Amino acid sequence: MTDPLLDRHPVLRLLPDALREVVRREGRSYGCNSADSLTAESPVVGFVISGALATFDPCGLACVSLLGPGATFGWETAFAPAAGGRRLALLDSTWIETPVSGLRGAMGSGWLEHIFAHHALDRIQRLQADSACHAVHPVTRRTANLIRRLAQAGGSDLRTTQSAIAEAMGVQRTSVNAAVKALEKEGALCLRRGRIQITCADRLAQAACGC
Ligand SMILES: [Zn+2]
């Protein structure tokens, strides 16, 4: 793992030298295509460089977070075995993974607990916001919002699928199809084969619930 690659992630860039050394030695970079499904099996901490990965609960029922560039995942594997939660790529994505054992060896469990607690608080707040959104906002506004968030991660020409979006939102694909068609009619976006192109970011933002 090279320094320029580590410097592409805001957390890796700021890690103490001892930890950077661990990631440089033990880290591996990964990439996957939009709509690929991945299962977390070994205890690793991940650093998302590009794209967007939706993570699901261990039963695979609900999306628990959307990881864009700069996000991290897997800190909980320092304290509990990897739960086998699934990740689904909503865009072509790249990330770096490093075994949690190396991080613990370099910094000790106390440091990891601190990072985990910080990360867990963020996640709880995000989950609360997401469940409120799910309860009160219609699918069209939620779809617009998710596409808006994907555009923040991947730009205005998104290689993604409506079924991956539906899965991440926990709704039927037909509902997302209808929502996307409505957004196309409003001139917010344009559907291409396997792609969604944002044609008017303002209209998309107006249609989105903004959660
Ligand atoms: Zn919402």
Query: According to the 3-state scheme, what is the secondary structure of 93-127?
Result: EEEEEEEHHHHHHHHCHHHHHHHHHHHHHHHHHHH
Per cent of the chain over pLDDT 90 is: 66
Q: Where is pLDDT greater, at 171 or 119? A: 171
Kindly give the distance from the C-alpha atom of residue 79 to the centroid of ligand 1, in angstroms, as a whole number: 32
Residue-level pLDDT at 82: 61
Q: How confident is the model at residue 42 (pLDDT cuts 50, 70, 90)?
A: confident
Per cent of the chain over pLDDT 70 is: 98
Distances in Å between the alpha carbon of 123 and those of 75, 89, 132?
12, 19, 14
Cβ < 5 A residues, ion ligand 1: 133, 137, 209, 211
Kindly give the distance from the C-alpha atom of residue 21 to the centroid of ligand 1, in angstroms, as a whole number: 41
Torsion (CA) 167, 97, 67, 57 in degrees, nearest 10: 50
pLDDT digits (tens, 9 = 90+) for 108-152: 888 888 888 888 888 888 888 888 998 999 999 999 999 999 999
For residue 75, which of 50, 43, 49 has the smallest C-alpha distance? 43
Residue-level pLDDT at 84: 66
Please tell me the pTM assigned to this model: 0.90
Length of the chain: 211
Query: CB atoms < 10 A from the CB of 190, how many?
Result: 14
Kindly give the distance from the C-alpha atom of residue 148 to the centroid of ligand 1, in angstroms, as a whole number: 12
Q: What is the DSSP letter of 34?
A: T
For each of the domains in the chain, give its residue range(s) and CATH number, in order of start.
3-133 (2.60.120.10), 138-207 (1.10.10.10)
Kindly give the distance from the C-alpha atom of residue 71 to the centroid of ligand 1, in angstroms, as a whole number: 21
Measure the CA–CA gap between 211 and 135, rounded to whole angstroms: 12
Residue-level pLDDT at 75: 86
Kindly give the distance from the C-alpha atom of residue 130 to the centroid of ligand 1, in angstroms, as a whole number: 7
Kindly give the distance from the C-alpha atom of residue 118 to the centroid of ligand 1, in angstroms, as a whole number: 24
Kindly give the distance from the C-alpha atom of residue 75 to the centroid of ligand 1, in angstroms, as a whole number: 27
Measure the CA–CA gap between 92 and 82, rounded to whole angstroms: 24
Kindly give the distance from the C-alpha atom of residue 41 to the centroid of ligand 1, in angstroms, as a whole number: 32
Report yes or no: 56 and 113 within 8 Å, Cβ to Cβ. Answer: no
* Residue 37 clears pLDDT 90, i.e. is over it: yes
Residue-level pLDDT at 60: 73
Kindly give the distance from the C-alpha atom of residue 128 to the centroid of ligand 1, in angstroms, as a whole number: 11
Residue-level pLDDT at 29: 95
